A and B are shown apart, each in its own frame.
Chain A
Amino acid sequence: MSDVTTTVHTDHQDHAHPPGLQHHFTNMTQQFEAAKLGMWLFLVTEVLLFGGLFVGYGIMHSKHPEAFVAAHHHLDWRLGALNTIVLLLSSFTMVMGVWAAQTGQRKKLIAFLLLTIILAMVFMGVKYVEYSHKFHEGLLPGKFYSHQGDTVPGQFMFFSFYFMMTGLHGIHVLLGIVAILWITFRAWRGHFSAQYYGPVDIVGLYWHLVDLIWIYLFPLMYLIS
């Protein structure tokens, strides 16, 4: 990154660029605001992507309430609540990482980012325990549903939504881990300062959206009545 900046300096002798500023932006604030707007537009498309699944869930739940209530008893709300707390904690450590970046504290930034990654992995671990339990019991989506001894028919519909929604969310968590690892690597290389921390903030926004979606998934999946 510093090599690139040096090249830019020799190309444009008329004005010096602060480190981290791409030369097509006027200043750091403009670059930061442009990147943030781009991220927010992406987050809106993410909301609408999950929105389609939420609308489908709403339709099927309103048409088959008995099947959904019966099916949700197969989920353990304690594990769901545990995962909610884990994800809220990871959102907190992420925002503390952004704060450390804003105040130029490199060591704290790396520590908070690593904590966030660990919490994300705990989340995926709990998810793994839940999924393997479902696979074992045959609580699978659509035609793969093979659970025995149901008294209420149509429970496969709930598990179609359960696996699509928590699965898509899980993929987002995995991608989030990759993104935070990338940020941690850049922080370790010393790329960020109180003047330049845009990527930390952007990845933070993504991570908070993943948390935001889970906040809605938890009551809709685990706490139906």
Chain B
Amino acid sequence: MSNHAADHAHEITGPKTYSMILLALIVLTVITVAAARFDFGNMNTVVAILIASIKGSLVALFFMHLRHDKFNAVVFVLGLFFLAVFLIWTLFDISTRKTVLPSNLKQPVQAFPGAPLNKPIRPSTGQPLGAPPAQ
């Protein structure tokens, strides 16, 4: 399509390109379903996310016009970057968490000697509420 609108700041993509993208998206959906039938071991989720990302890129680049819109593409990719930080750092934490962390200890914490656990304590002294102030 060489059909340009009066406002030539925007490139116009035509029905032909959009139809091809739709076809590609439907084919990729079939591939997604077919790929789920194969066992890639622990790569199953990775393969599914990879195909979904190819589909997502097609939608963003063509249907959302990001290939002619560098500025908003940067905005969107920055958002995805922060999502990646959120996801990857959380999974680091989950997969490397050991039982030696204080919050995971099964034994009572000895931070406030004399204060029984599960009883309210006076924050200023660390002694149980109602007990006489420490000497």
A positions within 8 Å CB-CB of B = 28-29, 32-33, 36-37, 40-41, 43-44, 47-48, 51-52, 54-55, 58-59, 61-63, 77, 81, 84-85, 88-89, 91-92, 94-96, 99, 102-104, 194-195, 201, 204-205, 208-209, 211-212, 215-216, 218-220, 223-225
Contact = CB atoms under 8 A, between A and B. Distances in A.
B18 A219 contact: no
Contacts of B7: 28-29, 32, 194-195
Interface of B: 3, 5-7, 9-10, 12-15, 18-19, 21-22, 25-26, 29, 32-33, 36, 39, 44-45, 48-49, 51-52, 55-56, 59-60, 62-65, 69, 71-72, 75-76, 78-80, 82-83, 86-87, 90-91, 94-95
A58 B91 CA distance: 8
A201 B5 CA distance: 14
A215 B48 contact: no
Contacts of B10: 32, 102
A79 to B, nearest CB: 12
Contacts, number: 135
A134 to B, nearest CB: 21
14 contacts: A36-B69, A44-B78, A47-B80, A51-B86, A52-B86, A92-B18, A92-B19, A94-B63, A99-B18, A102-B5, A208-B63, A223-B36, A225-B36, A225-B44
A59 B94 contact: yes
B60 to A, nearest CB: 7
B122 to A, nearest CB: 36
Given A36-B72, A44-B76, A55-B90, A211 B36 contact: no
Chain A binding surface SS class: helix
Contact of B22 (A43, A84, A89, A219): A89
Q: Which of A36, A84, A215 has the most CB atoms of chain B within a 10 A radius of its CB?
A: A215
Contacts of B72: 36-37, 40
Contacts of A220: 45, 48
The 5 A-B pairs at the shortest CB distance, nearest first, are namely A44-B79, A223-B36, A219-B48, A51-B83, A92-B22
A95 B107 CA distance: 61
A28 B13 CA distance: 20
B33 to A, nearest CB: 6
A216 B51 CA distance: 9
Given A41-B75, A47-B83, A99-B12, 5 more contacts: A59-B94, A88-B22, A88-B26, A204-B63, A208-B60
